[in-house]
Amino acid sequence: MTERFSGSFTQQEPIPDAAIEAALAVLRHGRLHRYNVAPGELSETALLEQEFAAQMGAKYCLAVASGGYALATALRAVGVQPGDAVLTNAFTLAPVPGAIASVNARPVFVGVTEGLTIDLDDLEAKLDRAKVLMLSHMRGHLCDMDRLMQMCDAAGVTVIEDCAHTMGAAWRGQLSGRQGAIGCYSCQTYKHVNSGEGGAADHR
């Protein structure tokens, strides 16, 4: 590898002038709410959703206030009810089991490998305990998604992908978020796209 990262992981790059201009244009017209549009006009939020869905190879995208909110929305969208069990890898960030707790569901933790990906043998042993897997691609590491999807499809387990660390990453040429039913993203300031706080959920 010849390329070497020399930037700072804790200080963001400046917001480009074009983005500042675009934000100012919205502030100048003052119609900040996503449904506050003129007849025939698409809101900035709707335009963002369309562009993001196209970039991620999804059909639909919902822009939300955070990655954690995207995860909770995805759980609701696939029908998780209070008291339901949801499988999730044990090595992740607190907002992931937090999203499960926020819909009053119960996390069932799956072990991880030395490579920091979900332990597929442990997952296989626990697949009969839940109907949904919230898979967090922690630190950008993707597991063997072919084996994972085969196992989950065979067991009737719906996969939600937490792509907070894998926006734009791919498994065998297919973008992260497109193997499962819903991809969830964070635009919190330390992520690939910096909007301070923000997130999105998308669906093929």
The answer to whether 153 and 118 are in contact (CB under 8 A) is no
| By CB under 6 A, residue 165 contacts ligand PLP | yes
What minimum distance in Å lies between the beta carbon of 30 and ligand PLP? 27
φ, ψ of residue 145 in degrees (nearest 5): -70, -25
Binding mask 74-93 for ligand PLP (x = CB under 6 A): ------------------xx
* Comparison of 67 and 183: residue with beta carbon closer to ligand PLP: 67
Instruction: Assign residue 31 a region (left: φ > 0; alpha: ψ between -120 and 50; beta: otherwise).
Output: beta
Compose the 117-136 pattern: x for residues touching ligand PLP by CB under 6 A, - for all others.
Answer: -------------------x
Q: Give the integer Cα–Cα distance in Å for 18 and 35.
A: 24
Half-sphere exposure of 192 (CA within 13 A, CB side): 15
In the complex, least distance from residue 20 CB atom to ligand PLP, rounded to whole angstroms: 22
Query: Two tokens at 173?
Result: 């040429």
State the residues that interact with ligand PLP by CB under 6 A: 66-68, 92-93, 95-96, 136, 138, 162, 164-165, 186, 188, 199
